[in-house]
Amino acid sequence: MMKKKNITNILIVLILSIGAIIMVGPLLWMISTSLKNKEGVFQLPPQWIPDPITVDAYKRLIELDTLFDGVKNTIIVSLSVTIIGTLTSSMAAFSFAKLKLPYKNVLFLILLSAIMVPYPAVMIPQFMMFSKIGWIDSLLPLIVPGLFGNITMIFFLRQYLSNIPDSIVEAAKIDGASYLTIFSKLIFPLIKPAVAAQFILWFMGVWNDYLAPLIYLNTPRKQTLQVVIANLNAAYAIQTDYPLIMAASVISLIPVLVVFIVFQKQIIESIAISGVKG
């Protein structure tokens, strides 16, 4: 039995190692390509370690004004949406989980049904609505809808709050605490791990969003980073300037990678919590 178990463990480690190599390989190749010159990209056999190592692509990239504008716009959208949206999502989850509201379960099901509607189905009506109020070619269509919360986060936090006894809220109400005080002083500290995990996942999603900025933003100085990278790809791929394109991709990856490395514990805990409490 021990021998059979050891063989199984070896096979599992081997399969996982192969999967890790397959997933990490493109990332390492992207970094390697960004440190090459144009000739080194097409050199045979392919070089994983550039020879020579050059940062010329990063120097030329820094000279492009659109890159800094893209980073600035993406930071504005990502932070404003996720910070304010996380607060409103937490308050909505608290309301659905702990407050006695008429037809709150029906309202919650209606809210969840919005997840089932694919984005292409509402893309044109949203564009027409934002166009009529003059929001096209601005960051407002990317920011304002997210300020009212994220349905996935509301669902996740509501499930998390359903495991917290109602007696805690009732005791606070007897002591004279308002609902805002109960939420800020009692409920929010209890759900901080779940909020942190969902905040990180939402931030990663907003940072990497490409379709919505492509629809609403036309002026190059107002575009987000993902659209800027796509434009660089279209402009420089014909010139086979792949080091520049890969350098831009590396820069766009750094914030998400740093966030994931720093907060990976919360992300893993969120998966475990959703599996146990969902």
Among 251, 194, 203, which residue's Cα sits nearest to residue 226? 251
Distance CA 23, CA 193 (A): 28
State how far the Cα of 77 lies from the Cα of 80, in Å rounded to an integer.
Answer: 5
- Give me the phi and psi of 2, to 5 degrees please: -65, -40
pLDDT digits (tens, 9 = 90+) for 35-61: 888 777 777 777 778 777 888 888 888
pLDDT of residue 1: 62
The residues of the chain scoring below 70 in pLDDT are 1-4, 266-278
User: Helix or strand or coil: residue 83?
Assistant: helix
Query: Which residues, in sequence order, are CB contacts of 241 under 8 Å at separation 6+?
Result: 38, 57
The pLDDT of residue 47 is 77
The pTM of this model reads: 0.79
Cα(54)–Cα(262) distance, rounded to whole angstroms? 29
The fold of the 56-276 domain, in CATH, is MetI-like fold (1.10.3720)
Residue 256: predicted pLDDT: 80
Give the tokens for residue 75: 């930071």
| End-to-end Cα separation, the chain, in angstroms | 36
- At 143 the pLDDT is 92
Cβ atoms of 221 and 12 within 8 Å: the answer is no
Alpha carbon distances (Å) from 110 to 27, 107, 151, 161: 40, 5, 11, 19
Give me the phi and psi of 100, to 5 degrees please.
Answer: -90, 95
The Cα–Cα gap between 164 and 43 comes to: 60
Give residue 277's pLDDT.
46
User: What pLDDT is stored for residue 116 in this prediction?
Assistant: 84
Q: Assess contact for 163 and 249: CB atoms under 8 A.
A: no
